[in-house]
Chains A and B, each alone.
Chain A
Amino acid sequence: MTTTAPASEWQQAAYIAGQAADGRVNIEIETEGMSLNIGPQHPATHGTLRIVVRLDGEQVVWAEPVCGYMHRGYEKLLEVRTYPQVNTLVNRIDWMSSFANEVPFILAAEQLMGVEAPERAQWIRTIFFEMSRIANLTLFLGDMGVQLGALTPVFYAFRDREHVLNLIESATGGRFHPNYDRVGGLKEDLPKGWVDECKGVMRRVRDFCDQMEDLLVGNEIFQTRTRGIGVITPAVALSYGLSGANLRASGVDWDLRRDEDSPLAWKHTEFKVWTHPDGDSFARYWVRLQEVRESASIIDQLLDGIPAGPIMAKVPRIIKVPAGEAWCHTENPLGEMGYYVISQGGLGPFRCKVRTASFNNISILPWLLRGVYVPDVITILASLYFILGDIDR
Chain B
Amino acid sequence: MLGLELAYWQQALIKVGAVMTVIPLGALILGYVFLLKMMSHMQSRLGPMEAGPHGTLQLLADAGKFLQKEDIFPARSDRTVFALAPVVVMVSTFLLYLVIPAGPRLIVEDLDTGVFFALAVGSLSVIGVLMAGWASASKYSLLGALRAAGQLIAYELPLVLAVVGVVVQAGTLSLQGIVHAQADGEMFGFGGIGNPYVITQFVGFLLFMVASQAELTQTPFDMPVAESELVAGYMTEYTGFRFLFFFMAEFGSAFALSAIAATLFLGGWYLPGVNGDLADYLGPLVLGGKIMFVAFLIFWFRFTYPRFREDQLQTFAWKYLIPLSLMNIVATGILKVVF
**CB–CB under 8 A between A and B in the complex?**
yes
How many Å lie between the Cα of A148 and that of B312 in the bound state? 13
> Which one of B42, B222, B228 contacts A147 once the chains associate, using CB atoms below 8 Å?
B228
Are A152 and B42 in contact, with the CB atoms below 8 A?
yes
How many Å lie between the Cα of A42 and that of B140 in the bound state? 11
> Which one of B42, B219, B228 contacts A43 once the chains associate, using CB atoms below 8 Å?
B228
Q: Is B308 close to A, CB under 8 A?
A: yes
Q: Is B44 close to A, CB under 8 A?
A: yes
Supposing A43-B228, A225-B306, A225-B308 touch, asked if A149 and B43 sit within 8 A by C-beta, the answer is no
- B304 surroundings in chain A (CB, below 8 A): 150, 152, 215
A39 CB to nearest chain B CB (Å): 11
> Which one of B45, B306, B309 contacts A145 once the chains associate, using CB atoms below 8 Å?
B306
| Residues of chain A in range 135-186 having any CB-CB distance to chain B below 8 Å | 145-152, 155-156, 159
Q: How many interface contacts (CB-CB < 8 Å) are there between A and B?
A: 80
Are A224 and B139 in contact, with the CB atoms below 8 A?
no
Q: Is A375 close to B, CB under 8 A?
A: yes
Are A216 and B44 in contact, with the CB atoms below 8 A?
no
Chain B residue nearest in CB terms to A37:
B139
Q: Mark A211-227, 1 if CB is under 8 A from B, else 0.
A: 00001100101101100
Supposing A43-B231, A156-B43, A156-B44 touch, asked if A373 and B303 sit within 8 A by C-beta, the answer is no
How many Å lie between the Cα of A71 and that of B179 in the bound state? 65
How many B residues touch A, CB cutoff 8 Å?
A: 27
Are A375 and B43 in contact, with the CB atoms below 8 A?
no
How many Å lie between the Cα of A43 and that of B44 in the bound state? 22
Are B139 and A148 in contact, with the CB atoms below 8 A?
no
Chain A residue nearest in CB terms to B312:
A224
How many Å lie between the Cα of A4 and that of B123 in the bound state? 45
> Which one of A36, A44, A159, A216 contacts B306 once the chains associate, using CB atoms below 8 Å?
A216
> Which one of B140, B227, B309 contacts A373 once the chains associate, using CB atoms below 8 Å?
B309
Q: Is B268 close to A, CB under 8 A?
A: no
Q: Is B71 close to A, CB under 8 A?
A: no
Are B307 and A148 in contact, with the CB atoms below 8 A?
yes
Are B309 and A42 in contact, with the CB atoms below 8 A?
no
B77 CB to nearest chain A CB (Å): 16
Supposing A36-B139, A375-B229 touch, asked if A148 and B306 sit within 8 A by C-beta, the answer is yes
> Which one of A146, A219, A225 contacts B228 once the chains associate, using CB atoms below 8 Å?
A146
How many Å lie between the Cα of A338 and that of B100 in the bound state? 67
Are B228 and A376 in contact, with the CB atoms below 8 A?
no
Are B226 and A375 in contact, with the CB atoms below 8 A?
yes
> Which one of A152, A215, A221, A378 contacts B308 once the chains associate, using CB atoms below 8 Å?
A221
Supposing A219-B305, A222-B306, A224-B312 touch, asked if A149 and B222 sit within 8 A by C-beta, the answer is yes
How many Å lie between the Cα of A147 and that of B222 in the bound state? 12
How many Å lie between the Cα of A58 and that of B145 in the bound state? 13
- Give B residues with C-beta under 8 Å from A: 39, 42-45, 139-140, 143, 219-220, 222-223, 226-229, 231, 303-312
How many Å lie between the Cα of A185 and that of B157 in the bound state? 68
- A315 surroundings in chain B (CB, below 8 A): none
How many Å lie between the Cα of A12 and that of B39 in the bound state? 50
A and B contact pairs by CB, cutoff 8 A, 8 listed: A42-B231, A149-B306, A150-B219, A150-B306, A221-B308, A222-B306, A373-B311, A374-B143
- A376 surroundings in chain B (CB, below 8 A): 309
- B43 surroundings in chain A (CB, below 8 A): 151-152, 155-156
How many Å lie between the Cα of A216 and that of B311 in the bound state? 21
How many Å lie between the Cα of A36 and that of B312 in the bound state? 23
List the 5 closest A-B pairs by CB distance, nearest first.
A149-B307, A148-B306, A155-B43, A150-B306, A149-B306
- B226 surroundings in chain A (CB, below 8 A): 149, 375, 378
> Which one of A150, A151, A152, A375 contacts B310 once the chains associate, using CB atoms below 8 Å?
A375
A379 CB to nearest chain B CB (Å): 8
- A66 surroundings in chain B (CB, below 8 A): none
Among A149, A155, A216, A219, residue most surrounded by chain B Cβ atoms (within 10 Å): A149
How many Å lie between the Cα of A79 and that of B241 in the bound state? 54
Among B39, B228, B310, B311, residue most surrounded by chain A Cβ atoms (within 10 Å): B228
A42 CB to nearest chain B CB (Å): 7
How many Å lie between the Cα of A253 and that of B310 in the bound state? 35
Q: Is A16 close to B, CB under 8 A?
A: no
Are A159 and B311 in contact, with the CB atoms below 8 A?
no
> Which one of A146, A149, A378 contacts B305 once the chains associate, using CB atoms below 8 Å?
A149
A9 CB to nearest chain B CB (Å): 12
How many Å lie between the Cα of A119 and that of B74 in the bound state? 63
- A147 surroundings in chain B (CB, below 8 A): 228
Q: Is A34 close to B, CB under 8 A?
A: yes
Supposing A36-B139, A150-B306 touch, asked if A375 and B44 sit within 8 A by C-beta, the answer is no
A52 CB to nearest chain B CB (Å): 12
How many Å lie between the Cα of A215 and that of B303 in the bound state? 11
Are A378 and B44 in contact, with the CB atoms below 8 A?
no
- A222 surroundings in chain B (CB, below 8 A): 306
- A219 surroundings in chain B (CB, below 8 A): 305-306
Q: Mark A265-301, 1 if CB is under 8 A from B, else 0.
A: 0000000000000000000000000000000000000
Are A375 and B303 in contact, with the CB atoms below 8 A?
no
Are B44 and A225 in contact, with the CB atoms below 8 A?
no
Are B229 and A378 in contact, with the CB atoms below 8 A?
yes
Chain A residue nearest in CB terms to B304:
A152
Among B39, B222, B303, B309, residue most surrounded by chain A Cβ atoms (within 10 Å): B309
How many Å lie between the Cα of A376 and that of B222 in the bound state? 15
Chain A residue nearest in CB terms to B220:
A221
- Extra 6 A-B pairs, beta carbons < 8 Å, given A215-B304, A375-B310, A376-B309: A34-B139, A43-B231, A145-B306, A147-B228, A149-B226, A150-B219
Chain B residue nearest in CB terms to A44:
B228
- A374 surroundings in chain B (CB, below 8 A): 143, 229
Are B229 and A44 in contact, with the CB atoms below 8 A?
yes
How many Å lie between the Cα of A343 and that of B113 in the bound state? 86
How many Å lie between the Cα of A12 and that of B6 in the bound state? 55
